[in-house]
Amino acid sequence: MTTMFASTTRKTPHSGKRRICFPITSRAYYGRSQLLIRKLHDHPGIELELMLGGSILLDKYSRHIADDIEAGGFTISASLFNVIEGGNHVAMAKTACLTALEFTNGFHAADPDVVVICGDRFEQLAIAMAAAYLNKTIAHIEGGDVTGSIDESVRHAITKLAHIHFVTNDDAHRRVLAMGEDPKYVFTTGSLDVEVASQVAAGITSDGVNSYGVGHEIDVTRPFLLVIQHPVTTEAENRRHLEDTLRAVSSLDMPVIWIWPNPDAGTGEMADSLRHFRENVPDAVRKMRFITDVPVHAFIALLKVAACLIGNSSAGIKECSYLGTPVVNIGARQQGRLHADNVVHAGYDRGEILASVRRQIAHGRFAPSHIYYRAGASQAIVDVLAGSALYTQKRFCDNAEAGVRT
Amino acid sequence: MTTMFASTTRKTPHSGKRRICFPITSRAYYGRSQLLIRKLHDHPGIELELMLGGSILLDKYSRHIADDIEAGGFTISASLFNVIEGGNHVAMAKTACLTALEFTNGFHAADPDVVVICGDRFEQLAIAMAAAYLNKTIAHIEGGDVTGSIDESVRHAITKLAHIHFVTNDDAHRRVLAMGEDPKYVFTTGSLDVEVASQVAAGITSDGVNSYGVGHEIDVTRPFLLVIQHPVTTEAENRRHLEDTLRAVSSLDMPVIWIWPNPDAGTGEMADSLRHFRENVPDAVRKMRFITDVPVHAFIALLKVAACLIGNSSAGIKECSYLGTPVVNIGARQQGRLHADNVVHAGYDRGEILASVRRQIAHGRFAPSHIYYRAGASQAIVDVLAGSALYTQKRFCDNAEAGVRT
Amino acid sequence: MTTMFASTTRKTPHSGKRRICFPITSRAYYGRSQLLIRKLHDHPGIELELMLGGSILLDKYSRHIADDIEAGGFTISASLFNVIEGGNHVAMAKTACLTALEFTNGFHAADPDVVVICGDRFEQLAIAMAAAYLNKTIAHIEGGDVTGSIDESVRHAITKLAHIHFVTNDDAHRRVLAMGEDPKYVFTTGSLDVEVASQVAAGITSDGVNSYGVGHEIDVTRPFLLVIQHPVTTEAENRRHLEDTLRAVSSLDMPVIWIWPNPDAGTGEMADSLRHFRENVPDAVRKMRFITDVPVHAFIALLKVAACLIGNSSAGIKECSYLGTPVVNIGARQQGRLHADNVVHAGYDRGEILASVRRQIAHGRFAPSHIYYRAGASQAIVDVLAGSALYTQKRFCDNAEAGVRT
Amino acid sequence: MTTMFASTTRKTPHSGKRRICFPITSRAYYGRSQLLIRKLHDHPGIELELMLGGSILLDKYSRHIADDIEAGGFTISASLFNVIEGGNHVAMAKTACLTALEFTNGFHAADPDVVVICGDRFEQLAIAMAAAYLNKTIAHIEGGDVTGSIDESVRHAITKLAHIHFVTNDDAHRRVLAMGEDPKYVFTTGSLDVEVASQVAAGITSDGVNSYGVGHEIDVTRPFLLVIQHPVTTEAENRRHLEDTLRAVSSLDMPVIWIWPNPDAGTGEMADSLRHFRENVPDAVRKMRFITDVPVHAFIALLKVAACLIGNSSAGIKECSYLGTPVVNIGARQQGRLHADNVVHAGYDRGEILASVRRQIAHGRFAPSHIYYRAGASQAIVDVLAGSALYTQKRFCDNAEAGVRT
């Protein structure tokens, strides 16, 4: 079949600018990408199109994102509702497929030179797949890390579809090369999250934090714990694991800020569990404040003053390494990931969690580490995206054989 | 959200047998998997479900496949029409997405222990993605090879989603390990295609071959050429490349059997071009027979007697290495792939193709090579699928650091 | 294109039984169809397949449905997650499309003789469309009524796709004929909801009702109000309308059971509003109990004793006509629908609602009406589905010209 | 769920102009809508967006459409590949669902005031459904007719979703009213096809017609037959019916122009059959020219001079009534449709077809009829679309009871 109209969909003639599509599918990605997006938008040689899909469109707290985006003069070329309800693996898989289907149309219409894929969320692999089939050059941010959960597979599969790699640390760089990527196109730029964290100067007041969420009033000038525990999609016991954490934390009798888990397979039962405790075991949560969402600057400010971060958020590994915040990392989600001294690992055992938190509180803050930090991460990415030669046909580079250190 | 009914979809209680889903999306995969499917079906510890989708359902010559399947007593658990017309990249990408969406439902209903992914067709990555998100153990056949076109990316991305790897040669084994796969789960079993080729004893008569397709009558006892040139989805010039091949072949003034290209992005314009020649340049195709499809045994029999195979089919690399058939491999599609002495590479230049074919005809048949052959490939795969411990959580294995030879 | 495998998907050979597919996409449909499903299942000439999709799979209170279904020995041939999040019109439309896509596969696999479509939910039109394109005979339950919202269009469009019509009242019968349907295939069987209501003998205790939901404890031996206000998808002011009802009801200072709205476009903001009142205006909801879901027998028992039903539920029009419960029907959702004397209509004005409720409480219960009731509704439907000749090619019947009374 | 970004997708601020989306999914619709589209585009109060999907994007002969559209300065807001291969009912149903899914995104982005739905192709109902769920005002062209096949159901279901109706004849007007539509919004404007036919002045030369298609050279100055036989999707015997027509026509030993059937369920086997005759029964088709596509002006010119039109095209009923061309209409596809004296109906019987064609040739051309013609059809539609008050909430109008003549 011939495809007469395919060419008619490029809405605007090429201006000589390099056209970059940036799919954003979660608030977290928007938060960490703010500096990058701003610099891409301001670059004279780049035409930036933001494409929104997935959970970011469903987020009640995303109003400020919309305002940001509009105030920033950004172009949103598509807003695609494609999250299938169910909170289970079937719904997750189908969400990824539908997302890819719709982003295919979006890419077909926008006809970008480069598609930027962030991190390792399941729908980002689907989007990368769509971009690959459309012969687009794919730039991947944060490949090469080792973690637990399905993210581990997703991240490396994206690497094998991507053409340009921005990694956050030397270990990741080595793994991306081992996987056969072209050394000329692998760049260790440091973490965008950490860059954002390094630039947030403002603190947060008690009034500020208490304007978010529900529950116990927090006094940020006094020691408090911060908990973020996301579901691990490859595990069946998410609810029990969450309850073990909750009971361990509760028994410390300290004020707690509990950040609601991300929307993902398994989130539903975790959210149910938290609601259950609030309704039926009020004593267990009496010193807890539950927050579904905070702006990125407030989140960083909380990380800076929290006595300990507990759970399985990547912020414990990345931002907190730079900020020196003590972290008790629970379970498999971040397992194997490069981390600094600020992180203590604990299994899902209540006693082990409790002991680890006590140890971290006793230790207090750590010296900052730069394992995930390079100055000017976002500018480095922009420079490559604006300037490097683009290619689409990949070929496995036998870096080990070629003597490249992997 | 809770998911009350998710568990009700497992139609039959677990019998203690290991349940294996085998998605088949092209006739080629069915052909090369015949021995394997038969052995899986006959294994007392395995419950096999075939799932059909993609181009195999659209294939006019698939009637004998349906008959085979029914005669064989196989269970087809799903037949999913999901090929989107267009013959371009958009249609290809959307086909993959729709395929994955529907196979998600299929996997959810069948609840297999293992999903078997074959090769590197674009929809197989989408199916692998769906299976990965459903926490299924994925077995991948024919990973680790290096080729051109989008297949190169697709193949390695599947590797990074898969848990058990069956590779066809030592180079592929080394690459799969370099990419961080667990050495305990990487098996060099040889090529299923070559195993099938090694077992086809019957020859083919002129009457036999002339019962397929249209055009010039072929005398198989006299030297003839065999041409198979598929589109390369990452290239724009498929039509021109095909015409260069056609003119080169035509100028040799030998009988030619031309096998129609696979359905893929780019096939439409190549098919148009062949039709154009038949209608408007009859002299150029006067000694050519055009066949859209032949059963696998007839195809092998033709490979055994052809004076030279010309084009970019993997059969030139794999089956013909074992059979010793001279091959002129054109362009990027198989570029970088391990090959035996029987293969001469040529660019898309007409003169270069012509010279290469002449050289190969002058040389005649080659000694068989076993680079892609191991005895009992299908049995080896069945043994692993039936017996190995299954896992779902992947973790990058630093094989280089661990001293595993990659 | 030929379709070789299409025929291989009929899983079981025709047994001479008539095969009936019954898609269930909401708990409400399951509730009202219980008697019918049981009789279809028990009929010796019928092979019944239930297909589940849409919100019924997401319903936290659906556990008892799953238990019912399994205990009843029913066959569930498909469980399809296809609700797209967003709670807006885009999500609703896309949910319908995805539902239809997946039910197409389900119908293709099950190959039914008849597909039963219930009511007027948006996804039922999509399913009917899929069935029509597959040349299935479509039986439609509850066509011909006039109401507000998009349901009005959906219901009549389904009528024009359906071949057999089961209507609940004489007005509906007349309209279905006016629309050109074949008089031989239009049956006034009465309402299944009302039949179910007529057969629920058990009452409900205070303990019983207080075991559902959260909030104020209800004493069912004392007068209480029952509120059910669903979003009207064609209106923008659902949140304001809900708040007007809430404030009107609150000012009566009576105990209130508030049943959570159905999942639909607009539900999100209504649920937000209810949560907002609970958190921030506790005084307004101090005598209210909020229940997201009750089993059908408990619901009927509540209707029987409620002092007044307020809102826009079809139960006010149908079940309550038979039960004699006073109803204040608010706004456009049921507008134009045939109703008995028990219904007073009110606009969205707070004062008007208040006055109407007062008037209804003062009046007390009404004499039962049989406008929606015929004895043996479910049996009548089964008899037609089992016995009538089936056809697929429709033709507009000019009933007015033909002298059929419409 | 709230939907923060929903409002950000309206790409351009409302200019005060009425925004009209016009989905075009087949070449036939483009042909008949040319005058209308031009006038809509030129109207100062209207902003027109064309949305392309379905088979029009796959049409090899659509190049001139693309050129037309670009030359005309029209805005194409979406080009959506959504035809699923298979040529059977499953593929047709799924194509409709995918089309609706993608047009939902298109409507969401374009945010039109009115969506124009043409005719009765299966995907148009799906698009209408999407538009209805998005609360758009729907204008339907060519409702109310009676025909055979699934078109009959589709057409009336669209009527029940649409708000503004443009019908081509008085019978249709009466039926649309009987179905409960608002008399103020039903307009008898005549047929756009006939209006186009009435404005084509140019004839066609033998060279002209022979520049299209393959086969026998046609001398248009001598009597020839024109055949167009589409599949009837509700029938199983399309191939046999086509062959009966072919043999009947062949036995007349006259030159024949055979226009290839539309892409639809059943087309594949009909096209196979035609190819089979060309390859294997060359004598039967020796005087036939096969044309897959002709521009609309050439088609009209052929209708004007053909000795008889044979088959089941709506052109026989509509355009030929105005042009006076003798028509033998075969089978159920147009059954029941209002027609003029130029049409003779025949069953699928070869002898009956033959006799009917002979009778029509003997009769010669008929006097023009205006049953489908009103002067200024397209202008009348534009005037209503530009000027009438728009509404979205439908309500069944009891026109019979209200004394409106239906």
Per-residue pLDDT of D264-291, as tens digits, reads: 667 777 877 888 888 788 888 899 999 9
Of the partner residues C58, C84, C279, the one whose CB lies closest to the CB of residue A81 = C84
Contact D9 A69 (CB under 8 A): no
pLDDT value at position C306? 97
Helix, strand, coil percent content, chain C, rounded in steps of 5 = 45, 15, 40
The yes-or-no verdict on residue D149 having pLDDT over 60 is yes
Contact C86 A90 (CB under 8 A): no
Helix axes D27-42, D296-305, angle to 10 degrees: 120
**pTM of the full structure:** 0.92
pLDDT value at position A86? 84
CA distance D101 to chain B (A): 12
Residue D211 burial by CB count (10 A; 0-12/13-18/19+): exposed, middle or buried?
exposed
Contact D133 C150 (CB under 8 A): yes
Contact A81 C85 (CB under 8 A): yes
**Residue appearing with tokens 């071009």:** B273
Mean pLDDT value across chain A: 90
Q: What is the pLDDT of residues C355-379, one digit of tens each?
A: 999 999 999 999 999 999 999 999 9
Of the partner residues B81, B88, B279, the one whose CB lies closest to the CB of residue D84 = B81
DSSP C65-126: HHHHHHHTT--EEEEE--PBTTSSHHHHHHHHHHHHHHHHHHHHHH--SEEEEETT-HHHHH
pLDDT value at position B64? 65
Q: What is the pLDDT of residues C252-300, one digit of tens each?
A: 999 999 998 876 667 777 877 888 888 788 888 899 999 987 888 899 9
Please, which pLDDT band fits residue B237 given cuts at 50, 70 and 90? confident
Mean pLDDT value across chain D: 90
Closest residue of D to A2, CA-based? D60
pLDDT value at position C1? 29
Contact D109 A78 (CB under 8 A): yes
Contact B178 A175 (CB under 8 A): no
Q: What is the pLDDT of residues B246-255, one digit of tens each?
A: 999 999 999 9
Residue D294 to residue D300: CA distance in whole angstroms: 10
Q: Which residues contact C114 (CB under 8 A, 6 or more apart)?
A: C18, C19, C20, C21, C136, C137, C138, C139, C164, C385, C390
* Higher per-residue confidence, D104 vs A332: D104
Does any CB of chain B come closer than 8 Å to the CB of residue A153?
yes
Please, which pLDDT band fits residue B373 given cuts at 50, 70 and 90? very high
Q: What is the pLDDT of residues D203-246, one digit of tens each?
A: 999 999 999 988 999 999 999 999 999 988 777 788 889 899 99
Of the partner residues D57, D81, D279, the one whose CB lies closest to the CB of residue B94 = D81
Rounded to 5 degrees, what are φ and ψ at D347? -80, -165
Tell me the residues of chain B between 65 and 104 that have a Cβ less than 8 Å away from chain D.
81-86, 88, 90-91, 94, 98
* Higher per-residue confidence, A359 vs A277: A359
pLDDT value at position A2? 31
Contact B2 A336 (CB under 8 A): no
Q: What is the mean pLDDT of residues C40-61?
A: 87
Residue D32 to residue D46: CA distance in whole angstroms: 20
Q: What is the mean pLDDT of residues D371-383?
A: 97
CA distances from D364 to C275, D315, D325 (A): 77, 17, 8
The yes-or-no verdict on residue D4 having pLDDT over 50 is no
Q: Reduced to 3 states, what is the DSSP secondary structure of residue B151?
A: helix
CB pairs under 8 A between A and C: 39
pLDDT value at position A66? 65
pLDDT value at position C63? 56
The yes-or-no verdict on residue D2 having pLDDT over 70 is no
Please, which pLDDT band fits residue B7 given cuts at 50, 70 and 90? very low
Q: Using alpha carbons only, how large is chain D's radius of gyration in Å?
A: 21
The number of helix segments (H) and strand segments (E) in chain B equals 15, 14
Q: What is the pLDDT of residues A61-89, one digit of tens each?
A: 565 676 677 778 888 888 899 999 887 89
* Higher per-residue confidence, D88 vs A198: A198
Of the partner residues D90, D214, D279, the one whose CB lies closest to the CB of residue B81 = D90
Closest residue of D to A3, CA-based? D58
* Higher per-residue confidence, C14 vs B22: B22
pLDDT value at position A4? 32
The yes-or-no verdict on residue A405 having pLDDT over 70 is no
Q: Which helix (H) or strand (E) holds B80?
A: strand B76-80
Substitution target from C61, C80, C85 for chain A, most A beta carbons within 10 A = C85
Please, which pLDDT band fits residue C247 given cuts at 50, 70 and 90? very high
Of the partner residues C57, C214, C279, the one whose CB lies closest to the CB of residue A214 = C279
Q: Are D212 and D298 in contact (CB under 8 A)?
A: yes
Please, which pLDDT band fits residue C60 given cuts at 50, 70 and 90? low
Q: Which residues contact B371 (CB under 8 A, 6 or more apart)?
A: B169, B321, B338, B339, B340
Substitution target from B153, B390, B399 for chain A, most A beta carbons within 10 A = B153
Q: What is the pLDDT of residues A25-63, one digit of tens each?
A: 988 888 889 899 999 999 999 999 999 998 888 865 565
Q: What is the pLDDT of residues B149-173, one digit of tens each?
A: 899 999 999 999 999 999 999 999 9
Does any CB of chain D come closer than 8 Å to the CB of residue C152?
yes
Q: What is the mean pLDDT of residues A188-210?
A: 94
CA distance B379 to chain C (A): 28
Percent of chain B residues topping a pLDDT of 70: 93
The alpha helices in A162-313, defined as continuous H runs, are 170-178, 192-199, 206-210, 238-250, 267-280, 296-305
Percent of chain C residues topping a pLDDT of 70: 93
Of the partner residues D84, D214, D279, the one whose CB lies closest to the CB of residue B84 = D84
Q: Which residues contact A328 (CB under 8 A, 6 or more apart)?
A: A308, A309, A310, A311, A316, A343, A344, A345, A346, A353, A356, A357, A360
pLDDT value at position C62? 59
Does any CB of chain B come closer than 8 Å to the CB of residue D406?
no
Q: Over C135-179, what HEC string results? A: CCEEEEECCCCCCCHHHHHHHHHHHHHCCEEEECCHHHHHHHHHC
DSSP B212-251: SSEESPP-TTS--EEEE----TT-S-HHHHHHHHHHHHHT
Of the partner residues C4, C66, C81, the one whose CB lies closest to the CB of residue B8 = C66
Closest residue of A to C92, CA-based? A81
Does any CB of chain B come closer than 8 Å to the CB of residue D52?
no
Conformational region of residue A291, where left means phi above 0, alpha means psi within -120 to 50, and beta covers everything else: beta
The dihedral through the CA atoms of B72, B73, B76, B82 has a sign that is: positive
Among A19, A47, A24, smallest CA distance to A127 is for A24
Residue B170 to residue B190: CA distance in whole angstroms: 9
Q: What letter would DSSP give residue B163?
A: S
Substitution target from A97, A138, A140, A390 for chain B, most B beta carbons within 10 A = A97
Helix axes C267-280, C238-250, angle to 10 degrees: 40
Contact D85 B88 (CB under 8 A): no
Closest residue of C to D131, CA-based? C93
